[in-house]
Amino acid sequence: MAGSAAKVTSIDAIRSFRVALIAFQEELSRAVVSLDLECRRPLDWMEHDRARYWPREVRRASDVMNEARLNLERCLLTIDPNDHRSCYDERKQSEAAKRRLTFAETKVQAVQQWRQRLKKEVEEFQVQTAKAKEYLEVDLPRAVAQLSRMLDALDRYVRAMRPASDPVDSHSGGGGSSDSEGANSKTEADHENL
């Protein structure tokens, strides 16, 4: 942009934008940290809670099934072959225990599959948040610093322009000044510019 003139109409607007950019940077930083923690929560739950819970349930269901099978075998040994009841309750308990064991085993497999899938999703998400972190740690501070330099340069420019215009403005606003006073103030302004 060297050589082109900037048309700045409000330095305060640039200051306000800089303040808003800093606030955005802080808010984005909190959001990225929060998202990073939240994205790990399901994976932690899957790896630490469910990965322990369902194998424990498989062992329990296996124990219950073994006990139900033994109860059924005992019942079958003790009943009369002509008895039509034929250990109905024990058979139902054994079938229910088998269903529970099968259910728990499916959950163990599902947990393993979901762990792998969640790991992949979390890694992909972390790649995306890494881009946001880079923007947050590199690009935004660079933009804020650039705005600060612009504001400093504009403030210096305004201060440099004020002394040259202030004496003329203070004398010309009186209305009763003579030509010699106007010439005097013009000469003083010229000396200040040197």
User: pLDDT means per 10 residues in the chain (194 residues)?
Assistant: 68 90 92 90 90 94 94 83 74 93 95 94 90 88 92 87 56 42 42 37
Write down the pLDDT at residue 3. 59
pLDDT tens per residue, range 66-121: 999 999 888 888 877 766 567 888 889 999 999 999 999 999 999 999 999 999 99
Closest CA to 103 of 54, 49, 63, 46: 54
What Å distances lie between residue 75 and 83, 84, 89, 164, 188, CA to CA? 11, 13, 10, 112, 121
Write down the pLDDT at residue 2. 56
Contact 67, 100 (CB under 8 A): no
Could you give the CA distance from residue 186 to residue 184 in angstroms, rounded to a whole number? 5
Could you give the CA distance from residue 61 to residue 69 in angstroms, rounded to a whole number? 12
Residues in CB range of 186: below 8 A, 6 or more apart: 168
Write down the pLDDT at residue 77. 82
